[in-house]
Structure 1
Amino acid sequence: MCDAAGALLFRRRINAFSIPRFGAGCPLWPLYHALSRPMVPETAILDLPNGAQFQAWAICQPIAPVGFGTEPVMRATMLLKPLDDELHKDAQPVGPGCAVCPRAECGARRAASLVS
Structure 2
Amino acid sequence: MNWPNDSWHQIGDIADIPLRGARCVKTPQGKIAVFRTAENEVFAIEDHCPHKGGPLSQGIVHGTAVTCPLHNWVISLKTGKALGADQGEVRTLPIRIEDGALFIALDSLMMAAE
TM over 0.5: no
- More strand per residue: 2
Identify the structure with the greater helix proportion.
2
Scaled by the length of structure 1, what TM-score is found? 0.29
Q: Which protein shows a greater Rg?
A: 1
